[in-house]
Every structure is written in C-alpha cells, then in structure tokens.
C-alpha cells in the first residue's frame, strides 16, 4: 500500500468533514427478538462494489495498472478501496440529487485555480444523465460511479486542503508541518457528510479559512471575466508617455487601465473622436497601476511600466492561480499574530486578526543567493549587534578583497578572532593561503556601529540558513523597485518599528527606550516574552481588500515549475 498517499488523503478526511450533530441519525434501541434463521440475501450492487475493491487492490499491488472508468483514472485507489471496505461495500451515490451537489462543488473549483476536469467532472455528468434516464444503473455501472465519485470528492478535498502541488518537491527548504491523521474518524465524517447532503459545506471547510484566500478566488473570477470579454491590447513601443503630452497610444492606455479598474470610466474600446491628451486623471491612474506592480509611481509610462501593462491577461490569471496554490500550502495555519516576509514582493508585514497592521520595504537575496522559504519563531532582538561574517560571504565576497588589501578589515571595524577568542593582527595572517577549500581558522567579526552590515538592530529566529531580519546602513537601496541585493538575509527599512512590534512591551521597550539603548553603543540582547511566528514566503500575486490585485515579478523564477505541476497530471506521492 502506498503509505504516503494514504496518510495525505486520510489527513484530509480526518480534518475536513466537520458535520453538525443535527446531521447524525439517532436510533432508539429495540428489544432483542428471536427469529428463525434465514438464508442470506445476496446484494448484487454490494458484490459489484466488492469486486471493484478486489480489482483495485490487485491492480495496485501486483501489476501497477490504473483503474479507469469512462476514460478517467481512479487516483486514490488505496484510500477509496479502504473506504468502501469500511462501509461494508454499501453505495453512496445512487441519488441524482447528491451527484448534482458534487458536480456543482467540482465546477466551483475553477475559482480556486484548479481544473474541474482533474476531478472527473465530465464522466460524472455522463453518469448523472444515465442515472436520471433509468430507475437505477446496472450494478457494475453503479459500482463504477461509486468509485469515480468518491475518488473525485476525496481528491478535490485533498487538493483544497493540502494543495495539488507538493512544495517539498519544489524546495528542499520547505519546513511547514504536516497535519495529523485519523483514518477511521475521517471515514465516519465523510459518510456523515454524504448522508446529510453537506457536500458544498464540506468543500467550503476544506478551503483555507482566511480572508486572503476568499479575496484571491474573487480576483481570479474577475480576471477570468476580463479574459472572456477580450482582455486588453498591448501598448506599442514609443517614447515615454507622461502628463501634458499628446500621444496616439493614449486611447489604448486609457482602455487598458479602465479594464483593470485603475481608471474609472465605461468599458468602451477606443472610438472616434479620440482623446490623445495625457491628463492628470490618466497620470493618477498610471500611478495606481505602478503601485500595484511594484514600480516607481511617477505617473509616466516608460519601458518598465509599458512591459507590465503588456503582460497578457492569461499570464495574470496564471499568477493568481499559482499563488492560490501557495496559499493552500500555508493559510490553514495563518491565524493570530505573525510576521510575513514576501520575498517576491520585497516587503514584510505584521499581521493581526488576518490583516496587516504594519508593512515595510525589505531587501532580499540576489537570484544566485536566494532568500530561503521557510518558517520559524522570532525569539529575541539584538541591539547594537556585531556581525560575524558567514563562511559563504567570507569566501565569495571578503577574502578576495582582504587578499588585495588587508587594511580593509581595520577600515571597516572588522576584527580577526582566533579559536581561543583572542584578537589577531590581520597583517600577521597570510591570507593568500586561504580559499573556499581551505577556510581561515578565524572568525571575522564587525564591531557594532552605524557602518555595521546589520545596522543597529537584528531580529533573530532559529534556522539553519543563518538568515535573519535586520537594519542596514545602505538605506538608498530601498528606493529601488526590485530589491535583490543581499546574500540571503532580509534587510528591513523600518527595522526599529518591527523590533518594537515583536517585543510588544510598550512600557520597557517603546521607541524611546530602544533609541536610548542604541545610544549606549553596547550590544544588548532582548528576549521576547512571547515568540512571534515568522513566515518567509514567495507571493507574485496578492489580492487587496479593495478588490485589486498586487502583482510582482517572479525574481527567482519559481512560478513556471509551480504552474507546470498545477497544470500537470497528479500522481500519488
């Protein structure tokens, strides 16, 4: 038996099918009576289902072939077989009304960015037609319907709750916890959901119960409607369009911005007489578009803004779908207070009650030194930190400089410390002896101060990547649109505000107290009274409360692999 597929699918069954007590059927005990023995009655449908179970088990364990019903492959063969064994091979899908509920729930998966075709919807619609045309299906046909419908429901709930794509296959850094398993309880809840007709409710509970996810589904509906209406036309190359200039491309620009709600007005394609003026209203709309796409909001349409405007609606739909999938990986756990870093968005936010209450720009790792995606707990803050140069940065960045100019260390307040903790004169070291294959037997530690690479505060959370949030002396880099300048750590523009939030002690550690501690120039560690979760994630599309969508470039090139897996054939782990 495929243990991993069983564990994953049963986790969904165990946790999703919450059914109200009113849906449970209660029976009164009856007095025991003695009846004469009777010959057992053979139920042809139960026998047909039992034969299908036997076939599934044999095919799965012996020849590895797929069980196919009306052209559709049963995916969760093990768990479906085990479910019908637990039900003594009794049918669940003889009522066309119940099948109607399932087909409607599967069709609704399109708003989740999933493809209803992955969940046998056309074959189920065919079965539904047959079921309505006849009083009952033949036992073999009904048994096929049982397996197809149950597989469709289990598989779709699996994907809503855990995601269709396995994030571990995309990144070895993924460390989000798996969810607990109770197979028997899951079977009970599935049966209760089917018996009570609570199929739509069960699907709804499987989705992340977070406002972000609901907004994402609404945004996907909006962009699919835009696509159905014809999308938008690209804006042709030419000089920068800006306030006060006439340009023949202005009517196309106006329509483009109206389609996505950045410019108020009627959705009418350009028609004579054409208004070629780039006015203040259009400039304000361009700024709104630029802000949503992480561009400098100068109101002018140059090459960068034009490139973002010309991304086709189909690509934007894919971005939303990709990030709804990412949401399914993590958003079941996103509640309460936490810090969320969006690497692709170059920002960090502090969340409370499902909404960000504070946001700051950040600088993340270069594409060849990516900031890893993981989660941890913020446990302490260091004021006036020292910086011990990590081995990777030492080899790649610092050793070449030191070999040319050992005086670089003194000028930058970097001390050389031996294994006994003693300071060593950098001019006494033969730096030419050391390289990536032979590291120097010293720590290089930068003193606290305004020029320290970590700035004046760092916010720490245990992780194997030597990554943390910190201040920086290089403030000018926050003015860039794409902020990929670090070696993996996360530089925070408003680091002191974040430190004050995570310390959450307005009496002892308000901003004035932090500034006073910094003024002493002494390194000081402040432990948090309550650790704060921190999630380092990667979002290239995010819905806003106003219905608009924030889009970001895929700076690490992670979207294509996620999209390919999302569009591909699902195979059990």
DSSP codes, 405-444: -THHHHHTTEEEE-TTS-EE-GGGS-GGG-BTTB--SSEE
Beta carbons of 390 and 466 less than 8 angstroms apart:
yes
Least confident segment among 63-77, 123-137, 397-411, 543-557:
63-77
pLDDT at 114 over 80: yes
The closest alpha carbon to 445, from 428, 475, 422, belongs to: 422
The closest alpha carbon to 320, from 89, 540, 162, 84, belongs to: 540
Least confident segment among 12-16, 509-513, 529-533:
12-16
Least confident segment among 232-241, 389-398, 499-508:
389-398
Residue labelled with tokens 């219905």: 547
Q: 67, 293, 332, 489: which is the annotated catalytic residue?
A: 489
State the pLDDT confidence band at 565, using cuts at 50, 70 and 90.
Answer: very high
Average pLDDT over residues 415-419: 95
pLDDT at 66 over 90: no
> Could you tell me the two tokens for 188?
């009970």
pLDDT at 193 over 70: yes
Average pLDDT over residues 369-394: 94
In sequence order, the 6+-apart residues with CB closer than 8 A to the CB of 561 are 170
The closest alpha carbon to 19, from 210, 200, 207, 213, belongs to: 200
pLDDT at 81 over 70: yes
Beta carbons of 208 and 112 less than 8 angstroms apart:
no
Average pLDDT over residues 367-396: 94
Average pLDDT over residues 401-411: 93
- In angstroms, rounded to a whole number, what is the distance separating the alpha carbons of residues 467 and 202? 39
State the pLDDT confidence band at 14, using cuts at 50, 70 and 90.
Answer: low
Range of 254-268, 308-322, 427-441 with top mean pLDDT: 308-322
* % the chain with pLDDT above 90: 77
User: Residue 13: its pLDDT value, please?
Assistant: 55
Quote the DSSP letter at residue 338: E
pLDDT at 441 over 50: yes
Q: Are strands 469-470 and 490-492 parallel, antiparallel or unpaired?
A: parallel
State the pLDDT confidence band at 27, using cuts at 50, 70 and 90.
Answer: very low
- In angstroms, rounded to a whole number, what is the distance separating the alpha carbons of residues 378 and 557? 28
pTM attached to this predicted model: 0.89
Residue labelled with tokens 């919807």: 121
The closest alpha carbon to 341, from 163, 170, 484, 469, belongs to: 469
- In angstroms, rounded to a whole number, what is the distance separating the alpha carbons of residues 10 and 182? 7
Residue labelled with tokens 């039992």: 50
- The mean pLDDT of the chain is 90
The closest alpha carbon to 45, from 102, 74, 99, 84, belongs to: 84
Tell me the per-residue pLDDT of 201-255, one tens digit each, with 9 for 90 and over: 999 999 999 999 999 999 999 999 999 999 999 999 999 999 999 999 999 999 9
pLDDT at 61 over 90: no
- In 236-297, where does DSSP find H-type helix? 250-259, 280-292
pLDDT at 514 over 50: yes
- In angstroms, rounded to a whole number, what is the distance separating the alpha carbons of residues 501 and 493? 14
pLDDT at 471 over 50: yes
User: Residue 37: its pLDDT value, please?
Assistant: 59
> Could you tell me the two tokens for 283?
């400039």
pLDDT at 131 over 70: yes
- In angstroms, rounded to a whole number, what is the distance separating the alpha carbons of residues 573 and 557? 24
In terms of pLDDT, which residue wins out, 413 or 9?
Answer: 413
The CA angle 178-182-184, to the nearest 5 degrees, is: 155
- In angstroms, rounded to a whole number, what is the distance separating the alpha carbons of residues 111 and 414? 55
Beta carbons of 147 and 155 less than 8 angstroms apart:
no
- In angstroms, rounded to a whole number, what is the distance separating the alpha carbons of residues 220 and 504? 37
Do you know the residue count of the chain?
A: 573
State the pLDDT confidence band at 268, using cuts at 50, 70 and 90.
Answer: confident
State the pLDDT confidence band at 67, using cuts at 50, 70 and 90.
Answer: confident
The CA angle 500-551-251, to the nearest 5 degrees, is: 130
The answer to whether 470 is a known catalytic residue is yes
pLDDT at 29 over 80: no
Quote the DSSP letter at residue 119: G
State the pLDDT confidence band at 17, using cuts at 50, 70 and 90.
Answer: very low
State the pLDDT confidence band at 31, using cuts at 50, 70 and 90.
Answer: very low
Number of H helices, E strands in the chain: 20, 17
Beta carbons of 525 and 381 less than 8 angstroms apart:
yes
Beta carbons of 528 and 379 less than 8 angstroms apart:
yes
Residue 58, phi then psi, degrees to nearest 5: -65, -45
In terms of pLDDT, which residue wins out, 295 or 34?
Answer: 295
Tell me the per-residue pLDDT of 200-209, one tens digit each, with 9 for 90 and over: 999 999 999 9
The answer to whether 489 is a known catalytic residue is yes
């Amino acid at each position: 038996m495929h243990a991993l597929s069983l564990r994953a699918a049963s986790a969904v069954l165990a946790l999703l099918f919450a059914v109200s007590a009113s849906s449970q059927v209660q029976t009164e005990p009856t007095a025991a009576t003695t009846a004469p023995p009777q010959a057992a009655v053979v139920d042809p449908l139960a026998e047909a289902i039992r034969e299908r179970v036997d076939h599934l088990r044999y095919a799965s364990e012996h020849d590895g072939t797929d069980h196919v019903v009306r052209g559709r492959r049963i995916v969760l063969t093990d768990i479906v077989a085990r479910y019908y064994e637990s039900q003594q091979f009794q049918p669940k899908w003889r009522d066309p009304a119940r099948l109607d509920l399932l087909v409607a729930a599967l069709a609704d998966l399109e708003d989740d960015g999933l493809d209803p075709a992955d969940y046998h919807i056309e074959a189920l619609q065919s079965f539904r037609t047959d079921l309505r045309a006849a009083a009952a299906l033949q036992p073999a046909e009904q048994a096929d319907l049982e397996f197809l419908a149950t597989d469709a429901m289990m598989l779709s709930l699996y994907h809503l709750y855990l995601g269709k794509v396995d994030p571990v296959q995309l990144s070895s850094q993924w460390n989000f916890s798996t969810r607990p398993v109770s197979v028997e309880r899951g079977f009970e809840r599935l049966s209760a959901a089917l018996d009570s007709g609570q199929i739509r409710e069960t699907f709804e509970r499987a989705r992340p119960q977070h406002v972000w996810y609901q907004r994402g589904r609404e945004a996907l509906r909006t962009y699919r409607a835009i696509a159905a209406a014809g999308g938008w036309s690209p804006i042709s190359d030419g000089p920068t369009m800006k306030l006060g200039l006439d340009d023949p491309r202005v009517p196309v620009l106006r329509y483009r911005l109206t389609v996505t709600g950045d410019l108020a007005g009627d959705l009418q394609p350009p028609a004579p007489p054409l208004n070629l003026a780039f006015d203040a209203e259009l400039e304000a709309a361009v700024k709104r578009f630029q802000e949503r796409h992480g561009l400098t909001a100068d109101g002018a349409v140059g090459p960068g803004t034009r490139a973002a405007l010309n991304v086709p609606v189909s690509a934007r739909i894919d971005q939303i779908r990709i990030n709804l999938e990412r949401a399914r990986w993590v958003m079941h756990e996103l509640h309460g207070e936490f810090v969320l870093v969006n690497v692709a968005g170059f920002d960090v936010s502090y969340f409370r009650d499902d909404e960000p209450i504070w946001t700051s720009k950040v600088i993340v790792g270069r594409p060849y030194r990516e900031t890893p995606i993981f989660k941890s707990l913020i446990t302490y803050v260091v004021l006036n930190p020292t910086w011990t140069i990590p081995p990777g940065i030492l080899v790649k960045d610092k050793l070449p400089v030191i070999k040319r100019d050992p005086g670089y260390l003194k000028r930058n307040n970097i001390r050389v410390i031996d294994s006994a903790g003693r300071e060593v004169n950098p001019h006494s070291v033969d730096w030419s002896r050391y390289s990536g294959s032979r590291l120097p037997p010293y720590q290089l530690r930068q003193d606290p101060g305004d020029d320290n690479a970590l700035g004046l505060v760092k916010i720490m959370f245990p992780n194997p990547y030597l990554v943390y949030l910190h201040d920086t002396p290089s403030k000018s880099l926050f003015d860039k649109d794409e902020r990929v300048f670090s070696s993996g750590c996360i530089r925070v523009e408003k680091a002191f505000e974040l430190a004050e939030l995570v310390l959450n002690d307005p009496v002892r550690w308000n901003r004035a107290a932090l500034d006073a501690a910094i003024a002493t120039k002494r390194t000081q560690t402040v432990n948090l009274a309550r650790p704060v979760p921190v999630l380092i994630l990667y979002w290239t599309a995010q819905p806003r409360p106003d219905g608009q969508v924030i889009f970001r470039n895929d700076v690490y090139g992670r979207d294509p692999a996620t999209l390919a897996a999302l569009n591909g054939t699902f195979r059990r782990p």
